[in-house]
A = this chain, B = another copy of it.
Amino acid sequence: MKKITIGEAARRSGVKVPTIRYYESIGLLAEPERSEGNQRSYEPSHLHRLAFIRHARELGFEVEAIRTLLALQDDPNQSCASADAIAKARLIEVEQRIRSLTALRTELEVMVEGCGHGRVDRCRVIEVLADHGQCMHPHH
């Protein structure tokens, strides 16, 4: 029926060909059937799987978390507490990362704005890096 080559699967899912093979190698994507000439032959179910994986990766979930989420998806009777916990943990990570990057941004802005574009011995960028005491934020 609608058997699909790995290249076509890559085009449709937005996941690159070597990455698809990589996902198979780590057991994230089921091994597809092969053609007579040993070429992978995907079915729609594989495309759904790939879309799920891709989306989860874009949201920053680690491969192990995705493995768990996929297993949950396959067993619809299970409680979704695990999925919920994984998503919440990721949310907390993201929030923390945003806070941290926001502090960094402020510090970088100070460095860049303070730069008089002269010589290095008066460069605010180098100064701030050399002397942590000049930081605006005690975030690290």
Contact = CB atoms under 8 A, between A and B. Distances in A.
A73 B52 CA distance: 48
Contacts of A52: 129-130
A58 B117 CA distance: 24
B108 A91 contact: yes
A56 interface: yes
Interface in A120-140: 120-123, 125-126, 128-130, 132, 140
Interface of A: 48, 51-52, 55-56, 58-60, 69, 72-73, 75-81, 83-84, 86-88, 90-91, 94-95, 97-98, 101-102, 104-105, 107-109, 111-112, 115-123, 125-126, 128-130, 132, 140
